[in-house]
Amino acid sequence: METREAIAGRRSIRKFTDKPLSDKLIAEILHAGILAPSGKNRQPWRFYVVKEDKRPEMLAIMRAGIEKHREAGHSVGSSENSARVMEQAPATIFVFNPFHEDKAPGALEEVMNVVDVQSAGAAIQNMHLAAHDLGIGALWICDVFYAIEELSAWLGEKHQMIAAVSLGYADEKPDARPRRPVEEVTTWL
């Protein structure tokens, strides 16, 4: 697939078939992730692959986090839909930034964190494009932040959660979501 064709054809997939995903394909998608550019080549990414066996545990934790928010009177946004997507997906990859320290980030550390988060985002985008090229659907999920403490503890991670990516064979063909035209979002000088 041509790169521009992959960029234009990729969609967020929120319905997956029951067909399992081979470890080989998951590894290929992860490999595309680590080929992303990163500030100072720091490669600020660590991945956790959650497959079907561990999926019920992951979902129970995610849903407990959502419930906690609801009980506290906060909006839970689209998180229940995202949990339903994770429930169908044969694999969900959690992405963490291993370099972020929660404590006392000074100005320079904050800048470095912005750089690292961009780099991790590039890895996630690479994974989406590789998945699409391999005929696999993917959803970038930040609703995992509704259960950030619970999911991080379950994965044994103390660093910065970036996102999760659910993967599987698509059971839908969504239309392209609208985009603001380039002219509207660009100023040429």
- 173 vs 177, beta carbon nearer ligand FMN: 177
Contact between 69 and ligand FMN per CB under 6 A = no
Contact between 6 and ligand FMN per CB under 6 A = no
Q: Which residues contact 125 (CB under 8 A, 6 or more apart)?
A: 36
Contact between 76 and ligand FMN per CB under 6 A = no
Contact between 12 and ligand FMN per CB under 6 A = yes
Tell which residue, 60, 94, 65, has the closest CA to residue 167.
Answer: 94
Q: Which residues contact 138 (CB under 8 A, 6 or more apart)?
A: 10, 12, 13, 29, 127, 128, 131, 132, 165, 166, 167
- 17 vs 81, beta carbon nearer ligand FMN: 81
> How many residues of this chain interact with ligand FMN, rule: CB under 6 A?
13
- 82 vs 97, beta carbon nearer ligand FMN: 82
Contact between 4 and ligand FMN per CB under 6 A = no
d(CA 44, CA 35) in angstroms, rounded, equals: 12
At closest approach, how far in Å is the CB of 81 from ligand FMN? 6
Contact between 25 and ligand FMN per CB under 6 A = no
Other residues' Cβ atoms within 10 Å of the Cβ of residue 84: 13
Tell which residue, 49, 43, 44, 5, has the closest CA to residue 25.
Answer: 49
Beta strands in the chain (DSSP E): 46-51, 91-97, 137-141, 160-168
At closest approach, how far in Å is the CB of 13 from ligand FMN? 8
- 7 vs 27, beta carbon nearer ligand FMN: 7
At closest approach, how far in Å is the CB of 170 from ligand FMN? 11
d(CA 7, CA 108) in angstroms, rounded, equals: 33
Residues 112-151 that bind ligand FMN (CB under 6 A): 139-143
Beta strands in 82-136 (DSSP E): 91-97
Query: Which positions touch ligand FMN (CB under 6 A)?
Result: 11-12, 14, 78, 81-82, 139-143, 163, 177
